[in-house]
Chain A
């Protein structure tokens, strides 16, 4: 199967652009709707066209509130998929083997995995838990939620393609993500892995959806049944349709991080959707 379906866009990829300093940029409704319509995603264009705007610019307060609601719904999906346990099951032996002391979740959104690890501590009390996301409002919300439950973890704003801030001591850091890779075009994947290799991280493990008809069908049914937001319903299915194949991920990781032993931990039997999300794992040689 080929990699990401070229041209398909998720609505949430277009709603929260920020400049290099993390300041939010205005979002023109007609531009977003036009881009979605241009990609043949007319339903998505209609969803955006119904969003409130002033002078053609989407209402930033509405977008922030929408972002929070969408991420909360996404967290519910993560809970059903047992994302925290899946991550912990892989990281526990990896931490023991490599001596890493820090786990950094890039593109963490509301930081569900980081906060779950902080709440349940399956990796022990000494591992530092950090979440990074590009959206400053979501990062602030993640920090607020962690504080509300008195969780020992922190969140920073940063770009998944760089993410230097939290990884100054890369040699003792494991970088993870869940559901991030399909947001990156195939051409950017080597750079994504190269950024982590450049920091000399101990290991990386990035979970994403297995692309197949079953995962797309499952995503559609699940999002129709469970999600309230039209944006969530659209983007949930688009995520499955855009996800990268194991071959694409393997090639990109080997190209971007040549000093690492790479594997995509995907079962060979069908339907692969039973894996739900599987990681591409890289361990420094």
Chain B
């Protein structure tokens, strides 16, 4: 069960990182063809979230290795977090499926009705999951790990923006 919870949270974090990288890159260059730039941005976001989550994974792994009974506490917290992030992630993936399946005239609806509002709610959802995880575990270290994990996930988009997409070239003078 622990492995399943950890794997599910990891997949969700990776997907969220990839989408955050995409958002950091989108609407920066004005070019028409930006497919490869989008792919690179997703990759950068996914790598960045992995790097930012290293301290959390290290702390949790060390604690569990040294204090085996603590594994059940972390698992409980992970399940609680998954109860929040799982449905959110599934709705996002379903909306992306709709975006792909719908004809071009109605494609924007997936974005306007679901993806846009969910992106807006994302920080609140991330914090809610961490609070639930911490509350279920009732453990200071789990609280700290959940808080660090949420901070890491929410930092991806602004950090990617600063690292790779900060506007540097001034526009043409006339």
What residues make up the interface of A, taking CB atoms closer than 8 Å to B?
A: 22, 24, 61, 64-65, 67-69, 71-73, 75-76, 80-82, 85-86, 110, 112, 115-116, 119, 136-137, 139-141, 144-145, 148-149, 151, 218, 221-222, 224-228, 274, 276
Give the docked Cα–Cα distance between A81 and B159 (Å): 27
Closest to A116 in B: B32
Docked-complex contact B116 and A75, CB < 8 angstroms: no
A80 in contact with B120 (CB, 8 Å):
no
* Known A80-B111, A226-B23: A72·B170 in contact at CB below 8 Å: no
Docked-complex contact A225 and B32, CB < 8 angstroms: no
Contact with A along B93-122 (1 / 0, CB 8 A): 000000000001101110110001101100
Q: Is the CB of B109 within 8 A of A145?
A: no
| B residues adjacent to A (C-beta < 8 A) | 23, 26-33, 104-105, 107-109, 111-112, 116-117, 119-120, 161, 167, 170-174
Complex CA gap A218/B33 in Å reads: 27
If the complex has contacts A80-B111, A218-B112, are A224 and B120 also in contact, measured as CB distance less than 8 A? yes
- Asked if A73 contacts B171 (CB within 8 A), the reply is no
CB within 8 Å for A68 and B30 given contacts A82-B105, A222-B112: yes
Given contacts A221-B117, A225-B119, contact A274 B29 (CB under 8 A): no
With A72-B29, A141-B30 as known contacts, state yes or no: A82 contacts B171, CB within 8 Å: no
State in angstroms the CA–CA spacing of A67 and B174 once bound together. Answer: 14
Residues on A with C-beta less than 8 A from B172 are: 137, 140-141, 144
- Whether B174 contacts A221 by the Cβ 8 Å rule is no
Q: Which residues of B contact A119 (CB under 8 A)?
A: 32-33
29 sampled A-B residue pairs with Cβ under 8 A: A22-B174, A61-B170, A65-B167, A65-B171, A72-B28, A72-B29, A73-B27, A76-B26, A76-B27, A80-B111, A110-B30, A116-B32, A119-B32, A137-B173, A141-B30, A141-B171, A145-B31, A148-B31, A149-B33, A151-B32, A218-B116, A221-B116, A222-B111, A222-B112, A225-B120, A226-B23, A227-B27, A228-B161, A276-B112
CB-CB nearest in chain B for A109: B30
Structural contact, A115 and B32, CB atoms closer than 8 A: yes
A82 to B116, CA, bound (A): 15
Q: Which residues of A contact B108 (CB under 8 A)?
A: 80-82, 276
A179 to chain B, nearest CB (A): 14
The answer to whether A226 and B119 have CB atoms under 8 Å apart is yes
Tell me which of B28, B30, B116 contacts A222 (CB under 8 A). B116
Shortest C-beta distance, B59 to chain A (Å), equals 32
Output the least CB separation between A137 and chain B (Å): 5
- Report the separation of the CA atoms of residues A151 and B31 in the bound assembly, to the nearest whole angstrom: 11
Least distance between B118 CB and chain A CB atoms (Å): 8
Tell me if A67 and B30 are in contact (CB < 8 A): no
A68 to B112, CA, bound (A): 24
Closest to A117 in B: B32
Contacts of A68 in B (CB 8 A): 30, 167, 171
Across the interface, which residues of A come within 8 angstroms of B29, CB to CB? 72
Q: Which of B23, B105, B109 has the most CB of A within 10 A?
A: B105
Q: How far is the CA of A221 from the CA of B167 in the complex (A)?
A: 25
State A72–B25 Cα separation when bound (angstroms): 11
Asked whether A75 lies within 8 Å of B171 as measured between CB atoms, the reply is: no
Q: How far is the CA of A139 from the CA of B170 in the complex (A)?
A: 14
- Interchain CA distance A148-B31 in the complex, whole Å: 8
Report A128 CB to chain B, min CB distance, Å. 18
Q: Would you call B119 and A137 a contact (CB within 8 A)?
A: no
Q: Is the CB of B116 within 8 A of A225?
A: yes
Chain B residues, Cβ within 8 Å of A116? 32
B30–A72 touching, CB < 8 Å:
yes
* A274 in complex: contacting residue of B109, B161, B171, B174, CB < 8 Å: B109
